[in-house]
Amino acid sequence: MTRTQLIFLAAFGSFALLAGAFVFQVIGYAPCKMCLWQRWPHVVAITVGVLAVLMARHQRAFAVLGAIAASITAGIGVYHTGVERGIWEGPTSCTGGGALNMADPLSMDIAPIVMCDDVVWSLMGLSMASYNALISLVLVALWVMAARKA
C-alpha cells in the first residue's frame, strides 16, 4: 500500500468509529463523559488525514500526528475500560452510580448522567470503550506504517 492509501485507511477508520458512536447514540445509547473524550482524537485524526491528502509533501508529519491522535483515543479507551471493570477509579464526576441529572431542577425533563463505570453495551465481553481501544491500536499501526513508508 502507498502512504496515501494507508493514511486514507487510518483516517477512514477513525471516521467509521466516530460514525458508529453517533449511530449508537441515535438508537438510544447516550455517551458518558469519557466516551465523549474518546471522540475528539478521532476528529483530529480525520482532519489530519484530510490535510495529509491535500498537502502530500507533508504526509509523513501528518502521519505522525495521526498516530498521536489514535494513540490518545486508544489510551483513553484503555483507561475507560479499566474504570468499567473496576481496575481503577475514574473521574468522580461520572462514576459511582449516583442519581445525578443534568436537567434544570425545576423542569420535568430529567436527563440522567450516564455513568462512566457502567457498561451499557457489550459484545463478547467487550464494551464500546474496549472496542475503541483495540481498533484505535490498529489505526495507530496504520498511521505508523504510513509515517515509515518511503
What's the Cα-to-Cα distance from 79 to each of 15, 35, 64, 74, 132, rounded to whole Å?
21, 11, 22, 9, 11
pLDDT of amino acid 111: 58
Global pTM reads 0.88
Q: How many domains does the chain have?
A: 1
Q: 48-60, pLDDT tens digit by residue?
A: 999 999 999 999 9
CATH value at residue 125: 1.20.1550.10
For the chain, residues with pLDDT lower than 50 are 99-100, 105-108
Q: What is the pLDDT of residues 99-127, one digit of tens each?
A: 445 555 444 455 567 899 999 899 999 99
Q: Which three cell numbers stand for residue 57?
A: 509533501
* pLDDT at residue 44, as a whole number: 98
Beta-sheet strands, E only, within the chain: 122-123, 126-127
Q: Whole domain around residue 76: which residue ranges?
A: 3-90+97-148
